């Protein structure tokens, strides 16, 4: 296994098999709706002003309950100690909770300590260790996989099977869940077939409703699909948005109040296509009993 140097784009995965056959009783098509529960606009603001928008977040929660769609949250655990509103809000919004690192620093110099701090912070607030880990910005290097297994994680939900210039290139990877050689399961982000555009509200908001709908219809998505969004994709805090610098602010300003409608249209489309919505823990349980073939 070649190990890229820190700072180099990640091009390979830890040795793995692709889980092509889920147990016979698994739904034919599975979607998991996930949130990266982190500061406003990632680490760009260092603020959590979105907590002030509890009414809108409560409305989102009510919509998901009505549609019987469970929500899995990947929590930046440092926030649980930093903001008193964070833990109650995470409990209100989610049905299933995991770790999204402790500090959300992709170039963390001591990942082992970062992982340990995240498990400890999570345990303090949720009374148990997290089963799942999501790396910041999809930056999971092969050498991180043993660290996660040693720390007691059962699965990672970090890999985008797509391209982010300068960060990773996983265009050759399968779109299906994987089992790494050390037993850790990877539940990758969902992407549109062919173009490999992530099925994430941030991307679909940028595309606009028409092109997004056509991508889904013409190219389709895998039968196991992890959908992702951030709270700042569906709720706008003008003060945090104003804190962003020019180009980034312009991008986040596109259809800035349209995120909730994009999310609703996407989940209704998936339901019409026959997808069953599960939590990430439920998907992990199915994958733990799946069989696979040697992967790329």
The contact set with Zn ion (CB under 5 A) reads 36, 38
Cβ proximity to Zn ion, 38 vs 282, nearer residue: 38
Cβ proximity to Zn ion, 105 vs 269, nearer residue: 105
Min dist CB 77 to Zn ion, Å, is 12
Q: Quick one: which of 67, 92, 86, 88 has its CA closest to 100?
A: 86
Min dist CB 294 to Zn ion, Å, is 31
Min dist CB 223 to Zn ion, Å, is 26
Locate 164 and state its tokens: 């982010």
Cα angle 140, 138, 251; round to 5: 155
**Chain-centre distance for alpha carbon 180:** 19
Name the residue number minimizing CB distance to Zn ion.
36
Return the beta strands (E) in 185-279 as ranges: 185-186, 224-230, 276-277
SS3 content of the chain, % helix, strand, coil (to 5): 40, 20, 45
Min dist CB 36 to Zn ion, Å, is 4
Min dist CB 100 to Zn ion, Å, is 6
Cβ proximity to Zn ion, 230 vs 260, nearer residue: 230
Cβ proximity to Zn ion, 36 vs 78, nearer residue: 36
Q: Quick one: which of 263, 277, 279 has its CA closest to 68?
A: 277
Which DSSP helix (H) or strand (E) runs through 293?
Answer: strand 291-294
Min dist CB 220 to Zn ion, Å, is 26
Cβ proximity to Zn ion, 57 vs 215, nearer residue: 57
Cβ proximity to Zn ion, 140 vs 215, nearer residue: 140
Do the beta carbons of residue 289 and residue 23 sit within 8 Å? yes
**Using CB atoms within 10 A of its CB, is residue 109 exposed (0-12), middle (13-18) or buried (19+)?**
exposed
């Amino acid at each position: 296994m070649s190990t890229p140097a820190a700072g180099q784009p990640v091009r390979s995965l830890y040795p793995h098999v692709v889980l092509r056959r889920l147990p016979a009783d698994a739904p034919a098509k599975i979607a998991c709706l996930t949130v990266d529960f982190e500061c406003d606009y990632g680490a760009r603001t260092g603020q959590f002003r979105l907590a002030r928008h509890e009414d809108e977040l409560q409305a989102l929660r009510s919509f998901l309950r009505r549609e019987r769609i469970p929500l899995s949250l990947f929590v930046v655990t440092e926030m649980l100690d930093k903001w008193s509103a964070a833990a109650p809000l995470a409990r209100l919004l989610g049905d299933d909770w995991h770790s999204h690192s402790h500090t959300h620093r992709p170039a963390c110099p001591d990942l082992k300590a970062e992982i340990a701090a995240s498990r400890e912070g999570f345990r303090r607030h949720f009374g148990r260790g997290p089963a799942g880990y999501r790396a910041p910005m999809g930056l999971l290097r092969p050498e991180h996989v043993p660290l996660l297994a040693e720390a007691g994680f059962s699965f990672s939900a970090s890999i985008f099977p797509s391209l982010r210039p300068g960060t990773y290139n996983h265009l050759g990877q399968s779109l299906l869940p994987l089992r790494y050689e050390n037993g850790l399961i990877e539940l990758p982000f969902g992407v549109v077939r062919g173009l490999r555009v992530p099925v994430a509200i941030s991307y679909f908001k940028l595309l606009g409703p028409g092109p997004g709908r056509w991508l889904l219809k013409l190219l389709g998505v895998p039968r196991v699909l992890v959908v992702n969004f951030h709270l700042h994709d569906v709720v706008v805090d003008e003060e945090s948005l104003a804190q962003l610098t020019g180009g980034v602010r312009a991008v986040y300003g596109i259809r800035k109040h349209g995120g909730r409608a994009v999310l609703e249209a996407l989940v209704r489309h998936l339901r019409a296509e026959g997808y069953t919505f599960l939590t990430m823990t439920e998907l992990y349980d199915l994958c733990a009993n799946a069989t696979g073939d040697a992967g790329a």
